[in-house]
Structure 1
Amino acid sequence: MNLFCSSHINIIIILSIWSFLPVLCLCNSKATYIVHMDKSHMPKVFTSYHNWYSSTLIDSAATPSILYSYDNALHGFSVSLSQEQLETLKQTPGFISAYRDRETTLDTTQSYTFLSLNHSHGLWPASNYAQNVVVGVIDSGIWPESESFKDHGMETQTPPKWKGKCEGGQNFDSSLCNSKLIGATYFNKGLLAAHQADATKIGADSVRDTVGHGTHTASTVAGNYVNGASYFGYAKGTARGIAPRAKIAVYKVAWAQEVYASDILAGLDKAIADGVDVISISMGLNMAPLYEDPVAIAAFSAMEKGVVVSASAGNAGPLLGTLHNGIPWVLTVGASNTERVFGGTLILGNGKRFSGWTLFPASATVNGLPLVYHKNVSACDSSQLLSRVARGGVVICDSADVNLNEQMEHVTLSGVYGAVFISSDPKVFERRKMTCPGLVISPRDGENVIKYARGTPRASATIKFQETYLGPKRAPTVASYSSRGPSSECPWVLKPDVVAPGSSILAAWIPDVPAARIGPNVVLNTEYNLMSGTSMACPHASGVVALLKNAHPEWSASAIRSALTTTANPLDNTGKPIEESGDWPQRASPLAMGAGLIDPNRALDPGLIYDASPQDYVNLLCAMNLTQAQIMAITRSKAYSNCSRASYDLNYPSFVAFYADKSVKVETKFRRIVTYVGDGPAVYTARVSSYNGTAISVSPNRLVFKNKHEKRKFTLSFKSQMDKDYDVAFGSLQWVEETGRHLVRSPVVLVPRNVAFNFQTRI
């Protein structure tokens, strides 16, 4: 689903149309570039890198001004240059690379219960609810007056390592920060350079959220406790973030106009310098190589400093290869549905009752009205016809030729008092609006309703709204919109890593953007809004990361990602494998769900972890045949120039192999090292399972540990021959501790080579 509310659909269109279009550039026209420099070349005469960067541009006619200097996420700067100025800059000693600034796409009362977080035991009490952990939210800003960002119950002292500030601006006073919201900074120079505009004239001169996206994600990850939150009576309860005692630092880089990579880099650079513990970013670049991806570049620096970066997978599913942020050193999060259903009840004149889905945002009176079913009217494809025949009644909408959105729009425009929509589309549970007094029921229930309407003189119906209940649907399922792997940036590493709740998530909203519509003209505001997208899934995972940072401050960024991956649940609430949501439900592959749904309490005590060092990631970059300049654009240092140990075999908690043709038998070996993080001696035995005819073996199949932090090596062998091209085969490896306390699971997947690498050719 789109991330913005319906009244901002124009923003989505702008992002979709403008993103990554070829740009025709005359020599005297200018474009913004992100420039990478080797700081070891800086002459000693300069007292700062910024002064050196500026000096490299002085020889150009009409010396351009630097937009940003970067020193944490990367070494370099962003600047608007003509083609001639760029060519001159390339001759400067210390120049590594430059590429155009690019636009980026922006991709809760019950979800914490769905994830089994509770006050009595597990990760919440063990982590002290992430007390004093600082989460940096890279997004569209914040609405600080929301109850979710009040500081009641918060630790008043700021963490000693915190170096950030609360920056005032247009309609945002720095005094709005408190013990919950401790940092607020905005970055707009890339946007302004692209528009050649003044910030105040386009409303881009403060951290105040004018879109709603950033407020929603920030409250999801670390919002405070708010009683009585709901979306027009739906999802009633106490809202809270996944890490309710964590502190929030907001870095506004996304604007109502567009989002630019140079601004994202500046926000990430500042977050790292400020001393955040976790970075949550619900946006990404599509089809960008790692060495030109601002998230990948900044996240490498963050990873070196122990900061975990959690990023959304994108909303371009369900096709394969649509994922962004497929970065090996980032936690990439897809979206799932939950077991909660928002709905209402249809009561027929004969007393029979049927439950259905709705989010109609009012307590409407649809009581004992005439129930209308007619083959010419019930296609619901003409507002004029509906207005003439069914006005004043409740119409039954049943047509395989007219989609649900069109039917709803026609009913909304017709002025019909109520509607019963018959649909089997499972994606209905991912919707977030109902603009008419309507209810969606299943085809099975629809048969009974139609039978009653046809056979009963003066048939009548009553509809009750604003109901919330659990099940009986299977959950989770992978949301249809959630982008699928393999990653175009690095197909050798399985992405997404995990899925988290992302559909119909209740979180804080802003009063300036309507959250619902009734009919063609009435818009409604609310303090808490339901949103869907991997943007909503990402902060769930970010919140769990914040909890783990407090519970295990000694763990590296890769250790935390490993703990979340190997403890994720591949089964739904019925004990069956998680399925994909959509027109044809099927078992979800690791390309859709990674290892499965995050399980915070199990991640607290994973038993074994797969750790990785910065050099391990560089070995992978070397195997990908990146040039030294491209590697240095990511790592910022010549210390990683050694490619003598180039290898695709990253010590990652998942396994990906490729096949070129169904007639060719695939045999692949992976080598891994696991670190024991339990207490006391332990013995683990390998258990493998496969799907689609794969054969998996492990040597040795038994690992013995005497002490904590011991490491053991093993080799996984993968054999398969596909029945047909384009199939995805998968299975899993589970290390089972002999007492049953720990089960360490890693997905194994076989991907068609032309699917995995076709995307690489388009970068």
Structure 2
Amino acid sequence: MGVARREEHRAAAAAFLYALTVLGVLAGGAGVRAFEDGTAVYIVTMKQAPVSHRRLNLEKFGSSKAATAVGRGGSGGGGGGDTPTTSVLRKPRQSSPKPMNYGSYIVHLQKSLLKRTLRGEHYVKLYSYRYLINGFAVVITPRQADKLSGRKEVANVMLDYSVRTATTHTPEFLGLPQGAWVQEGGPQFAGQGVVIGLIDTGIDPTHPSFADDLSTDSYPVPAHYSGICEVTNDFPSGSCNRKLVGAQHFAASAITRGVFNASQDLASPSDSDGHGTHTASIAAGNHGIPVVVAGHQFGNASGMAPRAHIAVYKALYKSFGGFAADVVAAIDQVLFC
């Protein structure tokens, strides 16, 4: 394996671990035991580059070199499945099928790996990861995990683990009112045109920190954002607006383990814990919102980028925290949007 390829694999693993840290989750000690039948959730990372790496290489080296690399079947170059350059991944046949984009291609590789390695055996695939890492979460036995680990296409097989919420600092501690806010035109404009994705316990869409009617000027949703807003009984239509532009939840690993309590944890982007609402308001809450707790006034609060938009990806829950498989699925969706 070449030096460049090894560095690419290390970078993918580092990106995965770094993302879990900076996006407000910490590894926990519980929740890693196997199910009664001996199976457990594993996260499998493949050696081939994810979509995000292809996009970065396309920007760095240009489409001509990327197209050459893809044509050779190499791992360098290429885009994210959203450019003509990367829509040439096909097998050399007499009657070639319709070209598939790179994201679809690596999902095909993942399915093929599972079928070839675990032929005739039972397994349950929970997620396909394409953007943060090229990999998947799957319910399998330790023996099956060892078989996957021995494949040359696989970079890493890791047992899923529980995660817990962490918090962050205030704009004043970071010196934003005298620093970045001044440079960006003041708190009324800081963060304008940016969508901040948050992986946490969800959000309370009725909180004034996320209202979009506090000013009379134009506040359009950025054209580059392509996320969705889930609609459920406790997160009804209209919960999203020009401030809160997207909201989804991820709980497949938790549900598979049987630890998900729908009445307490809420199978929706709605926040039953409060942590996600808190961190979202810290990141991009509206400027100058009064803070009142139990009738006591605690001044006015502002997010670090008060004019930014918010997209929420709920993967952490009140009763049990969360699991890495669900968190990675959330991050993967953030990178897609």
Shift of 1:61: 4.2
Which string of whole-angstrom CA distances, capped at 9 and with x for unpartnered residues, describes residues 569-603 of structure 1? xxxxxxxxxxxxxxxxxxxxxxxxxxxxxxxxxxx
Secondary structure (helix, strand or coil) at the match of 1:167 reads coil
Q: Give distance in 1, aligned partners of 2:185 and 2:200.
A: 29
2:190 pairs, out of 118, 129, 139, with 129
Gaps in structure 1 of 5+ consecutive residues: 1-14, 275-763
Which string of whole-angstrom CA distances, capped at 9 and with x for unpartnered residues, describes residues 86-110 of structure 1? 2332344512210101111212xxx
Q: Which residue of 1 aligns with 2:230?
A: 167
Q: Give distance in 2, aligned partners of 1:139 and 1:22.
A: 18
Q: Which residue of 2 aligns with 1:248?
A: 310
Confirm or deny that 1:139 pairs with 2:200.
yes
Would the alpha carbon gap of residues 98 and 170 (structure 1) be closer, same or farther in structure 2, given more than 3 Å must change?
farther
Would the alpha carbon gap of residues 134 and 220 (structure 1) be closer, same or farther in structure 2, given more than 3 Å must change?
same
2:106 pairs, out of 45, 49, 52, with 49
Confirm or deny that 1:148 pairs with 2:148.
no
Secondary structure (helix, strand or coil) at the match of 2:276 reads helix
1:65-144 equivalence runs, <5 A: 65-107=124-166, 112=171, 115=175, 117=177, 122-125=182-185, 128-144=189-205
Would the alpha carbon gap of residues 172 and 195 (structure 1) be closer, same or farther in structure 2, given more than 3 Å must change?
same
Q: Give distance in 1, aligned partners of 2:199 and 2:90.
A: 34
Confirm or deny that 1:182 pairs with 2:245.
yes
Q: Give distance in 2, aligned partners of 1:245 and 1:194.
A: 39
Q: Which has the higher contact order (CA 8 A, sep 6+)?
A: 2
Shift of 1:221: 1.6
Confirm or deny that 1:216 pairs with 2:278.
yes
Q: Any conservation in 2 of the 1:132–1:247 contact (CA below 8 Å)?
A: yes
Secondary structure (helix, strand or coil) at the match of 2:29 reads coil
Q: Which residue of 2 aligns with 1:748?
A: none
Q: Any conservation in 2 of the 1:117–1:123 contact (CA below 8 Å)?
A: no
Q: Any conservation in 2 of the 1:149–1:219 contact (CA below 8 Å)?
A: yes
Gaps in structure 2 of 5+ consecutive residues: 1-24, 49-72, 76-88, 92-96
Q: Give distance in 1, aligned partners of 2:279 and 2:294.
A: 20
Secondary structure (helix, strand or coil) at the match of 1:192 reads helix
Q: Which amino acid in structure 2 is aligned with residue 169 of structure 1?
A: T
Q: Which amino acid in structure 2 is aligned with residue 240 of structure 1?
A: S
Would the alpha carbon gap of residues 208 and 117 (structure 1) be closer, same or farther in structure 2, given more than 3 Å must change?
same
Q: Give distance in 2, aligned partners of 1:75 and 1:204.
A: 29
2:43 pairs, out of 14, 34, 53, with 34
Q: Give distance in 2, aligned partners of 1:148 and 1:169.
A: 22
2:334 pairs, out of 254, 271, 274, with 271
Q: Give distance in 2, aligned partners of 1:26 and 1:227.
A: 46
Which string of whole-angstrom CA distances, capped at 9 and with x for unpartnered residues, describes residues 98-141 of structure 1? 0101111212xxx556636169x823526832111111111100
Secondary structure (helix, strand or coil) at the match of 1:105 reads strand
Alignment size in residue pairs = 256
Q: Any conservation in 1 of the 2:131–2:336 contact (CA below 8 Å)?
A: yes
Shift of 1:151: 0.3
Q: Give distance in 1, aligned partners of 2:33 and 2:265.
A: 29
Kindly indicate which of the two structures has a greater share of residues assigned to helix: 2
Shift of 1:64: 1.9
Q: Report % sequence identity.
A: 30
1:19 pairs, out of 9, 28, 46, with 28
Q: Any conservation in 2 of the 1:184–1:251 contact (CA below 8 Å)?
A: yes
Q: Give distance in 2, aligned partners of 1:80 and 1:191.
A: 12
Secondary structure (helix, strand or coil) at the match of 2:190 reads helix
Would the alpha carbon gap of residues 170 and 53 (structure 1) be closer, same or farther in structure 2, given more than 3 Å must change?
farther
Q: Any conservation in 2 of the 1:60–1:85 contact (CA below 8 Å)?
A: no
Q: Give distance in 2, aligned partners of 1:147 and 1:173.
A: 17
Q: Which residue of 1 aligns with 2:18?
A: none
Would the alpha carbon gap of residues 147 and 69 (structure 1) be closer, same or farther in structure 2, given more than 3 Å must change?
same
Q: Any conservation in 1 of the 2:124–2:140 contact (CA below 8 Å)?
A: no
Shift of 1:173: 2.2
Shift of 1:231: 2.1
Q: Which residue of 2 aligns with 1:231?
A: 293
Would the alpha carbon gap of residues 214 and 196 (structure 1) be closer, same or farther in structure 2, given more than 3 Å must change?
closer
**Structure exhibiting the larger radius of gyration computed from Cα positions:** 1
Confirm or deny that 1:259 pairs with 2:322.
yes
Q: Give distance in 2, aligned partners of 1:75 and 1:156.
A: 36
Secondary structure (helix, strand or coil) at the match of 1:259 reads strand
Which string of whole-angstrom CA distances, capped at 9 and with x for unpartnered residues, describes residues 50-107 of structure 1? 2332233334445323111111110111111112322332344512210101111212
Q: Any conservation in 2 of the 1:164–1:183 contact (CA below 8 Å)?
A: yes
Q: Give distance in 2, aligned partners of 1:252 and 1:69.
A: 17
1:501-580 equivalence runs, <5 A: none
Q: Which residue of 1 aligns with 2:10?
A: none
1:416-431 equivalence runs, <5 A: none
Q: Which amino acid in structure 1 is aligned with residue 239 of structure 2?
A: L
Q: TM-score normalised to the size of structure 1?
A: 0.31
Kindly indicate which of the two structures has a greater share of residues assigned to strand: 1
Would the alpha carbon gap of residues 26 and 118 (structure 1) be closer, same or farther in structure 2, given more than 3 Å must change?
closer
